[in-house]
Structure 1
């Protein structure tokens, strides 16, 4: 049993103001595996006050001092990699292999990339007679979800630390264990008191207190578009900078010039990874109408290779993270069937032999129109929809016909794929099932959010720009 009943504030583990707690459920078997304390406004006040005080000194640290701090963080993180992997598997159901190979390593990568970026980042530069100075923005509220907990926490904490900011982190109360361990790692690494603070709680109380707090200068939020709208509305009352990584309904255009079997298999794999719980997952597969029947056969075969089972087994896919998420996925699969989609494989209910836990059948729906609910709404589960197009113009039009713009995918001959990628309204476009590049900027167009995470560009999101005019003599 993991009890996360204290908060990390001003360099110490402290008791919450209230005794309110919530159970943490293991989605693999629906058992209670821990408890997490739920903070209130007074806990947030204490954490923000600590961060504001620490900002006075941490904001003045040198790049060299911060690089040394990152070296200690990375070393401490690597020592706790095994603990982190077990925590992620237990709290949100990622298979053990996925926790070890991707969940934990992606979080570490953000600290490694931020450390490397610091060495060459230009905080000051001349412009005419002026000096343009990039300074840390101040106290940051970091609010993260449950689907890739360490990746999403690392994507915020690492650049904020690199920029010289102080912060208060609110991880998801559904998956709090890994956030608590990260706080222990940062403490061991010697992060100065008050620079990093952790308060657990729900969005309605702790999240709202952070986004509306007058002493918070920036809010970095990852979650649903609906929640992001409320975060922006709350932050606007004090004219905060708000950057958000929100929902997605990413298209995957399979051009006729590609190897169809390979493209479809890769698209299915990227969709099913992490039980489909990735905001940038390629959930809409666009296939030329002449290749539709063949693509459906390839998709059926590829989905069948995605075994579902207990996260401690060798299964490729574990459960989704919660009962609420399971119910949402079932509702949306049913809506697809009701609106005329063809069930290729998967469907409603748990996979055979799994009577307990929030397991979902790897599902493929074909003959989907882009106006169907399953093509418009983010399902956030292992559900792929296949849409036919008649020519490349229609494929691009369908791909861009969405309120989202987080990611897009194109499979095809290199020059053709690159030309198509330039026409897509998305923050990232992946060519030919390429792997992630965590140094590339990540973020969305339209209702997928604003601002960018990952890599050196993420540091700039946590900086203010000051022009010191007359700093240099005129030429």
Structure 2
């Protein structure tokens, strides 16, 4: 049985401010397959402070330096595909062929796409007499769902990383194992301390703390419409950038 009772903050695994735990069930067998620590607003505050400190230097790195880190992540990711697939099978009851053959591969694909985009992305562009400079937003709170856990982590973390943002990730508390392994991958790849942070927890605790924290600049959330409304409300007083995918199935953008 898996047991993850620490959070990844400021480049190291740390104990929660106050230990509270949650059993994780395998929906395919309806049996308990693990246990995680549930974070609080105090844990989020520690992670946000680490991300804010790291932003000062990470946002100033050259794209080539961020590209090197992301290539390191890809190399490390490819050594952990079996672990990721096993975690997916347990936390969301995915058949092994689907976890191995589809979900893990898509996570790598999103990283490869981010790498290719970063190679040619123009952060400065001259438009006539005007110089347009594209800058990282800042500290991002990333909240992902249970039903596509690794994919949603990938599509939120890798673009934020590529553009020079720092982040705090809250995976779904009912599908948390891939998030833990993902943090191990980021650490092994040499992502600087504080750039990526992981705090496990539920919506009323960690989710609310992320969406309302005054030092978080952007929140990206995928999940229910009900929770999305609450997140938008919490983010409004500090005018955060908020992006949400709510209550739908396979949305499309029609141009």
| Cα distance in 1, alignment partners of residues 48 and 110 from structure 2 | 24
Is the counterpart of residue 62 in structure 1 residue 62 in structure 2?
Answer: yes
- Aligned-partner SS, 2:243: strand
Tell me the equivalent position of 1:214. Answer: 214
Tell me the equivalent position of 2:20. Answer: 20
How much has 1:245 moved relative to structure 2?
A: 1.2
Tell me the equivalent position of 2:148. Answer: 148
- Aligned-partner SS, 2:216: coil
Bigger Rg, which one:
1
Higher helix share: 2
TM-score, normalised on structure 2?
0.98
How much has 1:428 moved relative to structure 2?
A: 5.2
Tell me the equivalent position of 2:46. Answer: 46
How much has 1:171 moved relative to structure 2?
A: 0.2
| Cα distance in 2, alignment partners of residues 37 and 24 from structure 1 | 11
Is the counterpart of residue 89 in structure 1 residue 89 in structure 2?
Answer: yes
Equivalent residues in 2 for 1:104-115, closer than 5 Å: 104-115=104-115
| Cα distance in 2, alignment partners of residues 200 and 97 from structure 1 | 27
Alpha carbons of 1:171 and 1:428: their partners in 2 closer, same or farther (altered >3 Å)?
A: farther
How much has 1:128 moved relative to structure 2?
A: 2.5
Tell me the equivalent position of 1:245. Answer: 245
Structure 2 residues without counterparts, runs of 5 or longer: none
How much has 1:114 moved relative to structure 2?
A: 0.3
Equivalent residues in 2 for 1:17-416, closer than 5 Å: 17-248=17-248, 279-280=249-250, 406-407=251-252
TM-score, normalised on structure 1?
0.53
How much has 1:237 moved relative to structure 2?
A: 1.3
Q: Deviations over 1:234-266 (max 9, x none)?
A: 111110000011122xxxxxxxxxxxxxxxxxx
| Cα distance in 2, alignment partners of residues 236 and 102 from structure 1 | 37
How much has 1:5 moved relative to structure 2?
A: 0.5
Alpha carbons of 1:128 and 1:245: their partners in 2 closer, same or farther (altered >3 Å)?
A: same
Structure 1 runs of 4+ aligned residues shifted over 3 Å read none
| Cα distance in 2, alignment partners of residues 155 and 165 from structure 1 | 14
By relative contact order (CA 8 Å, sep 6+), the higher-ranking structure is: 2
- Aligned-partner SS, 1:135: coil
How much has 1:18 moved relative to structure 2?
A: 1.1
How much has 1:23 moved relative to structure 2?
A: 0.1
| Cα distance in 2, alignment partners of residues 188 and 113 from structure 1 | 21
How much has 1:230 moved relative to structure 2?
A: 1.0
How much has 1:162 moved relative to structure 2?
A: 0.4
- Aligned-partner SS, 2:19: coil
- Aligned-partner SS, 1:244: strand
How much has 1:35 moved relative to structure 2?
A: 0.4
How much has 1:134 moved relative to structure 2?
A: 0.2
- Aligned-partner SS, 2:86: helix
How many aligned positions are there? Answer: 255
Alpha carbons of 1:428 and 1:16: their partners in 2 closer, same or farther (altered >3 Å)?
A: farther
RMSD of equivalent CA atoms: 1.0
Structure 1 residues without counterparts, runs of 5 or longer: 249-278, 281-405, 408-426, 430-475
